[in-house]
Amino acid sequence: MSEHDHAHTPAPVERRAEAVEGALVDGGHVRPQDVETFARLYEDEIGPMNGARVVAKAWVDPDYRERLLADGTAAIAELGFGGPEGGYLIAVENTEAVHNVVVCTLCSCYPWPLLGLPPDWYKSAPYRSRVVREPRAVLAEMGCEVPDDVEIRVWDSTAETRYLVVPQRPAGTDGLDEQALAGLVTRDSMIGVARL
């Protein structure tokens, strides 16, 4: 490696992160307490358990299901959910004939208020490039077999809309209450890469 290359070897990413945070805080552009507040919020309070509550309620309450499919933003607000990346929510329901799956091919758009922050694979080049082109193959690789006679609908979150997949209620759960049902709903089923 030449001296020139060495001089341009990037500083470790940890040091670069400290540098930007220090400069933004010292310049008065960011308040240090806000950094911590935002990080904690999405670690502790906002995650897939929120989306699971929405799905379980839609399973047990036909009127709520109807409201959720007609106006997702208003329906999740009934449960106190909204805010960044949740200002315009569309719920898409899996049926015997249709399986829905969500992606953001251009970046990482995801319904934060209902699912929290996206996992690495959702933001990865393989998922973003392939799921629009060969969704059935990608889902099968991820362990989600969609029968050949079921249409796969891929929703690319290219604008302000954020999508929530409402998975099908599993058979044999008639006796369960809403809370127990919410415990069955996984993050991946609400992205559409898993079936329950």
* Integer Rg of the chain from CA: 20
Binding to other proteins (CB under 8 A) within 152-171 occurs at 152-161
Interface segment toward other proteins; rule CB under 8 A; list 54-62, 75-83, 113-121, 168-176: 113-121
Please say whether the beta carbons of 78 and 54 come within 8 A: no
Q: Of these, 134, 145, 173, 179, which contacts other proteins (CB under 8 A)?
A: 134
In which residue are the tokens 């249409």 written? Answer: 151
Interface segment toward other proteins; rule CB under 8 A; list 56-64, 74-82, 149-157, 171-179: 149-157
Per rule CB under 8 A, count of chain residues that contact other proteins = 75
Binding to other proteins (CB under 8 A) within 28-67 occurs at 29-31, 34-39, 42-43, 47
For 152, phi and psi rounded to 5 degrees? Answer: -100, 125
Nearest to 45, CA basis, from 83, 9, 16: 83
**Between 137 and 180, CB nearer to other proteins:** 137
- Out of 2, 104, 124, 144, the active site residue is 104
Please say whether the beta carbons of 166 and 94 come within 8 A: yes
